[in-house]
Structure 1
Amino acid sequence: MKGLRLFYLVMAIVGTVVPWLLFGQFFAQEGLNIPLFLQNLFVNGAAGGFSADVLISIVVFLVWATVDAQKKGMPRWWLIFPASFTVGLSLALPLYLFLREE
């Protein structure tokens, strides 16, 4: 399963870099304007639908991962929480799967 673990690691890296490039563009143009950033998540129906989908998915993932990690006695599983809040599901999910393959 080393190939699968490597895949999860690569996806965690990609899942960090791509969103932060886009977030970086926003903050470079708008400054560190968090209220505007949050407002733009729901600027129209398409953005709002996508944002709601991801936010709901991450809540479900965090609940499932917490239960799953406790059942499996996984070390360092809690890293998914800072990953979720600093990047998002694109890092938290592959990171969790990477840690789960240890």
Structure 2
Amino acid sequence: MVAFFYLLMCILGTVFPYWAFLPWFFENGLNIHLLLTEASPAIAAFAWLDVVISALVLLVFIWVDGKRNKMSMLWLPTLGTLVVGVSLGLPLFLLMREWQMSSSER
């Protein structure tokens, strides 16, 4: 049951952030300057810093806990974190960890 939840969160964690980002991207293209300019208010900076720090912590957790549990394919949640964000990387890692733990119990 928990594996299903993690899988569902992988899907939602990919769809919702891109659902919010893609309309802006299609209108403005890959305009990094505009993206950073629109993120200049203090509240936006707070949100960006929160996301960046959370992603860094997650990347360390993926590799430390993944190695400790002898997991393979750690590049997959790492890539998910870097390309989509924590909203995909975390549930994907937890799903893979759940599968690893389930296969170890057998």
Aligned residue for 2:45, secondary structure, equals helix
TM-score, with structure 2 as normaliser? 0.86
After the TM superposition, list the runs of 4 or more consecutive aligned residues in structure 1 that deviate by more than 2 angstroms. Answer: 34-40
Paired residue for 2:45, among 25, 48, 67?
Answer: 48
Paired residue for 1:25, among 18, 23, 26?
Answer: 23
Paired residues for 1:1-102 under 5 Å:
3-40=1-38, 42-102=39-99
RMSD: 1.2
TM-score, with structure 1 as normaliser? 0.89
Where do 5+ consecutive residues of structure 2 fail to align? 100-106
C-alpha separation in 2, matches of 1:31 and 1:44: 21
Where do 5+ consecutive residues of structure 1 fail to align? none
Aligned residue for 1:76, secondary structure, equals coil
- Kept after mapping to 1: 8 A contact 2:10/2:87: yes
Larger Rg: 2
C-alpha separation in 1, matches of 2:97 and 2:65: 9
Q: Count the aligned residue pairs.
A: 99
Identity %: 40
